[in-house]
Structure 1
Amino acid sequence: MIPWQKLDETTMPGGGKLTLMQRGSEFSIMSGTIGLMNSRMSGSEEQLAMLSAARVGSRPKARILIGGLGMGFTLRAALAAFGPDAEIVIAELVPAVIAWARGPLAPIHGTSLDDPRVTIHEGDVRTAISDRKPFDAILLDVDNGPDGLFRPENDRLYSATGLANAKAALTPGGHLAVWSAYPDAPFTKRLRQSGMAIEEAHVRERSNGKGARHLIWFATKAGK
């Protein structure tokens, strides 16, 4: 078997390490021993964008915020699913992740970051959410789930206050979509208490419909 090779390592703002690994044509981004993303497992991240686009529908000039660049699976799917007049803001906290997208991970990202519809917000997604111009959809994939597994600071994003801030940043009829590798009953309860209409979608880890089951919550703000 081909051994894993460490390509790069970076320290996240606030502490903690991220490591970029490669084995043949396969890439992985790790936090310690926790695998955050793998180039062979893109299905559920792609569904995050595709299912969101279906909910936004034909809204003209839809404005989308994606929290977490990762390996770019959600962004690439969003570019394919949303219209040519959409505006897509990518919020990425870790500068090295953006550098990897233009470096060793360029074969995966392709030209997605150079698409004229894309704006990169280098910083915490919470500051992007507070932008004065509202979003038609906010897509969050910044951890392995809403309990801040590898970055405790993410708890604030998924707290009642964080959900209220996201709701305030949505257009009427807009939605918040949250990706998770596992169910989370307390988070589901907080979502229901937010006053938004809640749906859950169970999706597969791989684009071929196989692999582990992941979960996407959709919370829709009232209005049209």
Structure 2
Amino acid sequence: MPSPPWVSIDTSAIPGTKARLTLLQQGDAYSIQVGDAELMTNLDRRSEQALATIACERLRDRPAPRVLIGGLGMGFTLRAALAALGPEARIVVAELIPAVVTWARGPLAHLFAGSLDDPRVTIVEEDVNRLIQSGPEQFDAILLDVDNGPSGMTRRENDRLYDAWGLKRAHYALRKGGILGVWSGKPDRRFKARLRLHGYGVDEVRVHAKEGNGGPRHVLWMATRPEAPLTFAAP
């Protein structure tokens, strides 16, 4: 029997671009796409979960960790962070596109399983870059699952998160020994080298997208904030 067709549930403009974000459904499968390119699906979620699990394990000895998640997506990073952190933790999720938050409370609510109403969670409809710049040493971890990683697909402005000045801003926002966790759809040797160049201690982890080691292998970088301030000239 042929598979049922994908059905468009909703679509939304992406701020600052001419592209549109679309939520699609095929039976129990959901997909968020930009044009014909798939950004995420609920069938491939293991790496998004690992982004939070690995980072939050490194915060185990901190009494009340504060975590910033860039990108709400389908909630897998958020739910994994909640599972890994204790009752004193606080999680701020920055989501640029209001429709994504609407979908999380509507057609995708079963995937979020009440996580948006957890008292540890605050959802902010804002560019994560603005939150990173809002004050020094605010977060114990910053987890970025934005625009497919350093090689973006949707907004040129997202490159600011991953360039040299983006790393400096992350250093500014992280507490000592804090973790900058970055998800990417593919390896990026230049970005990894950039992290090291600016003093971050870097672990690179490859994680299969599907349970049981299936699907593509995504890349996670766990970068520890250097103790000394980053000092380098603007390009």
Q: Smaller-chain TM-score range? A: over 0.9
Give the unaligned 5+ runs of structure 2.
Answer: 228-235
Partner residue of 1:93?
96
Partner residue of 1:117?
120
Partner residue of 1:140?
144
- Whether the aligned pair in 2 keeps the contact of 1:63 and 1:88 (CA below 8 Å) is yes
CA distance in 2: counterparts of 1:33 and 1:222, whole angstroms? 40
- Whether the aligned pair in 2 keeps the contact of 1:43 and 1:208 (CA below 8 Å) is no
1:81 aligns with 2:84: yes
Structure 1 position 149, deviation (Å): 2.2
- The correspondence for 1:188, drawn from 175, 187, 192, is 192
- The correspondence for 2:182, drawn from 157, 178, 191, is 178
- Whether the aligned pair in 2 keeps the contact of 1:65 and 1:91 (CA below 8 Å) is yes
- Whether the aligned pair in 2 keeps the contact of 1:44 and 1:207 (CA below 8 Å) is no
Secondary structure, aligned partner of 1:211:
strand
Secondary structure, aligned partner of 2:214:
coil
1:44 aligns with 2:47: yes
Structure 1 position 134, deviation (Å): 1.2
Q: TM-score, normalised by structure 1?
A: 0.97
Higher mean alpha-carbon deviation, 99-108 vs 54-63, is at 54-63
Letter in 1 for 2:86: G
User: Any runs of at least 4 consecutive aligned residues in structure 1 with deviations exceeding 6 A, and if so which?
Assistant: none
Secondary structure, aligned partner of 1:56:
coil
1:11 aligns with 2:13: yes
**Percent identity between the aligned chains?**
53
Structure 1 position 207, deviation (Å): 3.0
Secondary structure, aligned partner of 1:107:
helix
- The correspondence for 2:34, drawn from 31, 34, 59, is 31
1:54 aligns with 2:61: no
Secondary structure, aligned partner of 2:87:
coil
Secondary structure, aligned partner of 1:20:
strand
Letter in 1 for 2:224: T
How many residue pairs align between the two structures? 223
- Whether the aligned pair in 2 keeps the contact of 1:183 and 1:215 (CA below 8 Å) is yes
CA distance in 2: counterparts of 1:61 and 1:3, whole angstroms? 46
User: What CA deviation, in whole Å up to 9, does each residue of 1:63-122 have, x standing for no partner?
Assistant: 000000000000001110111110000000000000000000011111000000001111
Give the unaligned 5+ runs of structure 1.
Answer: none
CA distance in 2: counterparts of 1:84 and 1:189, whole angstroms? 36
Secondary structure, aligned partner of 1:126:
helix
Higher mean alpha-carbon deviation, 97-106 vs 127-136, is at 127-136
Structure 1 position 131, deviation (Å): 2.6
CA distance in 2: counterparts of 1:220 and 1:147, whole angstroms? 21
- Whether the aligned pair in 2 keeps the contact of 1:67 and 1:138 (CA below 8 Å) is yes
Letter in 1 for 2:221: W
Q: TM-score, normalised by structure 2?
A: 0.92
Structure 1 position 147, deviation (Å): 2.1
Partner residue of 1:201?
205
